[in-house]
Amino acid sequence: MREVTILAISGSLRQGSHNTALLYAARKHAPAGMMIELYDGLGDLPPYNQDLDTTMPPPEVADIRLRIARADGLLIASPEYNYSVPGVLKNALDWASRPNPGSCLVDKPIALLGASPGNFGTARGQLALRQVLMATRSHVLGHPELLVFGAHQRRDSGGHVTDTTTLELLRQLLERFRDEIATRQALSARSQVTCA
């Protein structure tokens, strides 16, 4: 099995973000056969404007589209704002979902996770995100789900995720995601050989 490459996107711009910390933990504890790269350009993307969405889009837009296209899968960790998706994350997905049809999100394997200091662990935000990704025709991993509640209690003084239960659930999610991507790639390769 070849190594799968994952682009990880945090839906939070906050310096001490629980969700960004979760992605650093994912990179640190990635299973064998998986390489995770963190995307840090979310705040640089301009608000979606169809007038700018031409064959020469803004360079920040061209960059995220290319990075998503090259990745074998996306790992999105997002907070929940007002029962939904943060505007900066929705903006990134709006840019990535173009041109339609045929965007870099079509058929892209995606795994979701989220962390919150509250009691619901971003459950409603993840549901809203799943709805958006249904429209983009992406393949969102259904299980296991990772909804980290009380996130501020699961990190050390340096901001690193140290809670053993959270880390074990994260490992399970990443292993399942890796295996799901590998299975999809094998089926795709087999299909191409059959059709040749």
**Domains of the chain (ranges, CATH numbers):** 4-195 (3.40.50.360)
Tell me, what's the pLDDT at 193?
Answer: 62
- pLDDT mean across residues, the chain: 94
Pull the structure tokens for residue 97. 């979902």
Count the Cβ atoms, other than its own, within 10 Å of residue 176. Answer: 16
Which pLDDT belongs to residue 194?
59
Would you state the pLDDT for residue 190? Answer: 75
Supply the pTM of this predicted model: 0.94
pLDDT for position 195: 54
Any idea what DSSP says for residue 133?
H
Q: What is the pLDDT of residues 8-25, one digit of tens each?
A: 999 999 999 999 999 999
Angle at 137 between CA 134 and CA 139, to 5 degrees: 85
Task: Report percent pLDDT > 90 for the chain.
Answer: 87
Residue ranges with strand state E in 51-195: 73-77, 109-115, 139-140, 147-148
CB atoms within 10 A of CB 96: 22
Average pLDDT of 53-71? 97
Q: Which two tokens stand for residue 82?
A: 């007002």
| Beta strand extents in the chain (DSSP E only) | 4-10, 34-39, 73-77, 109-115, 139-140, 147-148
DSSP state, residue 149:
-
Query: pLDDT digit string (tens) for 65-117?
Result: 999 999 999 999 999 999 999 999 999 999 999 998 889 999 999 999 999 99
